[in-house]
Amino acid sequence: MIALPLSFAERMQQLLGSEYHLFEQAFQAAPPVSIRLNRTKIGSAAANLSPVPWAAAGYYLPERPLFTLDPLLHAGAYYVQEASSMFLEQAMRQATDLSQRLQVLDLCGAPGGKSTHLASLLSPDSLLVSNEVIRSRANILAENVVKWGSGNVLVTNSDPRDFSKLPSFFDVLVVDAPCSGEGMFRKDPQAIQEWSEEHVNLCAQRQQRILTDVWDALKPGGILIYSTCTWNEAENECNMAWLAGQQAAESMPLELDPAWGVTPTQLNGINGYRFYPHRLQGEGFFMAVLRKTSGEERSSGSGKKKKFKLTTAGKKEKALVENWLLEPEQFEWLQYGENISAIPAALFEAADEVYQKLYVLYAGTEVAEVKGKKLKPQHALALSRYLNKPEFAQAELELEQALRYLRKEDISLGSHGNDWVLLQYRQLPLGWAKQIGNRINNYYPKEWRIRMELPAGLENVFSVGNFLPDK
């Protein structure tokens, strides 16, 4: 039984009144399990899965699978994401024009739920900068961005204050702020141990610093989408009212379907949206949307020819790999030493500016490593939505083969040759192997490999794949 902190329980009793006993009971139930499909890889889910009502590609699962042993997760076919946080989709659809080319910052991006969600919502010629200040978490963020395969994302590892170097650059700021974690008490008992009123106040102050640091990077008329996984007003409505008072900003209301169970709030002119586990299938969550009402527009520059930091690939190098992507003319081909990558051509100048001001960990789609005339396809290419599969030899793997490949073990394809082979599971690429005669060299990234032992009876392991149609 989960025991809630006394002062937290007293505050929630005052807030919820006669509903409090239902709220308290919800903490004793198992949290719902939800995923969000990657529509560029999986078209739909089976009809017997319940949809997350505020997210077009979100679904609830009847139980929690052993996700590690599902090759489809490693192929980027879906992302395991808490349902409440998928409400980001409503904020983006209602507060922005998703048909337009947008420049979006996901400031606190790790592990990647909101970033992959944004990547699915934005147009292909929009730019998403997905940032994480902690390097180890930034690496996890980059991994999930690569698996999603969108190709228009830059992963940065920078402090929020560094974004002041990009004044009026972004149309949308998404700040899923570090918080006291009250909404995670059911999923994470450690959050209960770490909670205190002092911690709440420290989080509120830290959130104000983060918002102050990044505010100048938002264009006049731009949108801030702010969220936490907590319920106290200090970290939520009060912080939004404080920001609106400090800066020129106005609250933007969102339309709700009453059937969703989302609770609207209003405080000091701020419209907020709260998620309570006894009213809907999801964990604790808060969101508010503000519009920046004034500020300086970006200058158009001095008219001088720009000096770019990014280096474009030479014609010879580009000719070696350009057919590896669909619609290669839509991309700018970049070269770093022996590595060639691609970004949508429309994003080149904006991406270059990010490179000049911030630390970029990953960008676009890494395509190949070139050594003379020898080419090594990069892992990100296999997972890209733009991969031109007919350019490569392909091999379909059974479940156990796929998992052994993902464990970076030796596998056999039962064939001969001397070529790069695209390994697939249910027609979705997992990565590369090099066939040399009848031997296979496994090129799955070592740092991504599955470390758990494979159980007996794999065919009986409950999997998300049970609910997804073959491509």
Per-domain residue ranges of the chain? 6-292, 392-455
The Cα 60–Cα 333 span in angstroms is: 40
Per the CB < 8 A criterion, the answer to whether 342 and 325 are in contact is: yes
| pLDDT of amino acid 118 | 98
| Ramachandran angles phi, psi of 117, nearest 5° | -65, -45
The CATH architecture one would assign to domain 6-292 is 3-Layer(aba) Sandwich (3.40)
| pLDDT of amino acid 323 | 96
Per the CB < 8 A criterion, the answer to whether 179 and 382 are in contact is: no
| pLDDT of amino acid 467 | 77
Annotated catalytic residue, options 108, 203, 229, 238: 229
Determine how β-strand 428-437 pairs with β-strand 417-425: antiparallel
Hey, what are 427's tokens? 């027609």
Beta bridge partners of 298: none
The torsion angle over the Cα atoms of residues 36, 41, 46 and 51, rounded to 10 degrees, is 20
Q: What's the 3-state SS for the chain?
A: CCCCCHHHHHHHHHHHHHHHHHHHHHCCCCCCEEEEECCCCCCCCCCCCEECCCCCCEEEECCCCCHHHCHHHHCCCEEECCCHHHHHHHHHHHHCCCCCCCEEEECCCCCCHHHHHHHHHCCCCCEEEEECCCHHHHHHHHHHHHHHCCCCEEEECCCHHHHHHCCCCEEEEEEECCCCCHHHCCCCHHHHHHCCHHHHHHHHHHHHHHHHHHHHHEEEEEEEEEEECCCCCCCCHHHHHHHHHHCCEEECCCCCCHHHCCEEEEECCEEEEEECCCCCCCCCEEEEEEEECCCCCCCCCCCCCCCCCCCECCHHHHHHHHHHECCHHHEEEEEECCEEEEEEHHHHHHHHHHHHHCCEEEECEEEEEEECCEEEECHHHHHCCCECHHHCEEEECCHHHHHHHHCCCCCCCCCCEEEEEEEEECCEEEEEEEEEECEEEECCCHHHCCCCCCCCCHHHCCCHHHHCCCC
| pLDDT of amino acid 298 | 75
Do 6-292 and 392-455 come out as alike in CATH topology? Answer: no
| Ramachandran angles phi, psi of 58, nearest 5° | -95, 140
| pLDDT of amino acid 303 | 54
| pLDDT of amino acid 119 | 98
Per the CB < 8 A criterion, the answer to whether 147 and 120 are in contact is: no
| pLDDT of amino acid 459 | 76
Q: If you classify domain 392-455 with CATH, what class do you get?
A: alpha beta
| Ramachandran angles phi, psi of 81, nearest 5° | -140, 140
Per the CB < 8 A criterion, the answer to whether 160 and 174 are in contact is: no
Hey, what are 426's tokens? 């249910």
* Span 359-397, pLDDT tens digits: 999 999 999 999 877 899 999 999 999 999 999 999 999
Hey, what are 390's tokens? 């007919």
Closest to 96 (Cα-Cα) out of 112, 118, 114, 115: 118
* Span 424-464, pLDDT tens digits: 999 999 999 999 988 899 999 999 999 999 998 887 777 78
Neighbours of 75 (CB within 10 A): 25
pLDDT-flagged residues of the chain (< 50): none
Q: Catalytic: 229?
A: yes
Considering the entire predicted model, what is its pTM?
A: 0.96
Q: Which residues of 265-285 are buried (b: 16+ CB within 10 A; e: fewer)?
A: eeeeebbbbbbbbbbbbbbbb
| pLDDT of amino acid 305 | 66
| pLDDT of amino acid 471 | 55
| pLDDT of amino acid 458 | 83
| pLDDT of amino acid 244 | 96
Hey, what are 450's tokens? 């599955």
The Cα 170–Cα 150 span in angstroms is: 19
| pLDDT of amino acid 243 | 97
